[in-house]
Amino acid sequence: MVTFGSHSIDIRTADKSAAWRAPSQPPPLSLYVHFPWCARKCPYCDFNSHAQADGELEAAQLRSRYLQALREDLESALPAVWGRTVRSVFIGGGTPSLMTGEEVDGLLCDIRALLPLAPDCEITLEANPGTMEAQRFRDFRAAGVNRLSLGIQSFDDDQLTRLGRIHDGRQAVRAAEQAGQHFERFNLDLMWALPGQTVDQALEDLQRALELTPPHLSLYQLTIEPNTVFAKFPPPLPDEDLAFEMQQRLQERASRAGFGHYEVSAYAQPGQTCVHNLNYWTFGDYLGIGAGAHSKLTGADGVVRQERFSRPESYLNAAGARRFISREHRVPASELPFEFMLNALRLTEGVPAALFAERTGLGLSAISRPLDAAEARGLIEADPTRIRATPLGLRFLSDLQSLFLPEPVTP
pLDDT (mean) for 217-243: 95
Same domain as 184, residue 146: yes
Domain count, the chain: 2
Q: Which of 63, 61, 58, 38 is nearest to 48 (CA)?
A: 38
pLDDT in tens, 196-215: 999 999 999 999 999 999 99
How many angstroms separate the CA atoms of 121 and 88, rounded?
Answer: 5
Question: Average pLDDT, whole number, for the chain?
Answer: 92
Of the given ranges (40-49, 113-122, 135-144), which has the lowest mean pLDDT? 40-49
What letter does residue 284 receive in the DSSP assignment?
Answer: -
Q: Whole-model pTM?
A: 0.92
Identify whether 303 is part of a domain: no
Do residues 65 and 147 both lie within one domain?
Answer: yes
Same domain, 368 and 226: no
Last residue of a domain, one of 279, 312, 328: 279
Coil vs helix vs strand at 271: coil
pLDDT on residue 409: 58
Cβ 175 vs Cβ 163: under 8 Å: no
Q: Which of 279, 299, 315 is the last residue of a domain?
A: 279
Residues contacting residue 322 through CB under 8 Å, at least 6 positions apart: 72, 76
Mean pLDDT of 357-376: 94
Do residues 143 and 49 share a domain?
yes
CA 82 vs. chain centroid, Å, equals 24
| Residue 267: domain span | 29-279
Position 226 in a domain = yes
Q: Is 318 inside a domain boundary?
A: no
CATH code: domain of residue 212: 3.20.20.70
Amino acid (1-letter code) at residue 192: W
Verify that 163 and 118 share a domain, yes or no: yes
